[in-house]
Amino acid sequence: MNAATDSRAARDDYYRRIAPQQLTPLWESMAALVPEQPRSPAVPHLWRYDDLRPALLESGALITAREAVRRVLILENPGLAGSSAITQSMYAGLQLILPGEVAPSHRHTQTALRLIVEGDGAYTAVDGERVTMRRGDFIITPGWTWHDHGSDADQPVVWLDGLDIPLVRFFDCGFAENLGTDTQPVVRPEGDSLARYGATLMPLDFEPRHAASPLFAYPYERSRDTLARLARGGVPDACHGYKLQFTNPATGGPAMPTIGAFIQLLPQGFVGAGYRSTDGTVFHVIEGRGDYRLDDGTFTFGPRDTFVVPSWVRHRLHASEDTVLFSFSDRPVQRALSLWREQRDA
Residues that bind ligand 1HN (CB under 6 A): 70, 72, 93, 95, 108, 112, 147, 149, 161, 163, 165
| Strand pairing category for 129-132 and 176-178 | unpaired
Our CB check for ligand 1HN shows the closer of 74 and 294 to be 74
32, with CB counted inside 10 A (0-12, 13-18, 19+), is: exposed
Q: How far is the CB of 199 from ligand 1HN (least distance, A)?
A: 27
Q: How far is the CB of 48 from ligand 1HN (least distance, A)?
A: 21
Q: Are 310 and 263 in contact (CB under 8 A)?
A: no
Spatial distance between the Cα atoms of 52 and 15, rounded to a whole number of angstroms: 48
Q: How far is the CB of 159 from ligand 1HN (least distance, A)?
A: 8
Q: Which is nearest to 223 in space by CA: 108, 136, 319?
A: 136
Spatial distance between the Cα atoms of 266 and 175, rounded to a whole number of angstroms: 39
Our CB check for ligand 1HN shows the closer of 113 and 266 to be 113
The vertex-125 CA angle with 122 and 128, nearest 5°, equals 155
Our CB check for ligand 1HN shows the closer of 161 and 330 to be 161
Q: How far is the CB of 149 from ligand 1HN (least distance, A)?
A: 6
Residues in the chain: 346
Q: Are 280 and 90 in contact (CB under 8 A)?
A: yes
Q: Are 285 and 302 in contact (CB under 8 A)?
A: yes
Our CB check for ligand 1HN shows the closer of 45 and 70 to be 70
Q: How far is the CB of 46 from ligand 1HN (least distance, A)?
A: 21
| Strand pairing category for 72-74 and 315-319 | unpaired
Our CB check for ligand 1HN shows the closer of 112 and 313 to be 112
Our CB check for ligand 1HN shows the closer of 111 and 311 to be 111
Our CB check for ligand 1HN shows the closer of 161 and 322 to be 161
Q: How far is the CB of 93 from ligand 1HN (least distance, A)?
A: 6
Spatial distance between the Cα atoms of 135 and 186, rounded to a whole number of angstroms: 23
Q: Are 130 and 193 in contact (CB under 8 A)?
A: no
Q: Are 209 and 157 in contact (CB under 8 A)?
A: no
Q: How far is the CB of 39 from ligand 1HN (least distance, A)?
A: 28
Our CB check for ligand 1HN shows the closer of 93 and 272 to be 93
Q: How far is the CB of 74 from ligand 1HN (least distance, A)?
A: 8
Spatial distance between the Cα atoms of 306 and 328, rounded to a whole number of angstroms: 11
Q: Are 117 and 159 in contact (CB under 8 A)?
A: yes
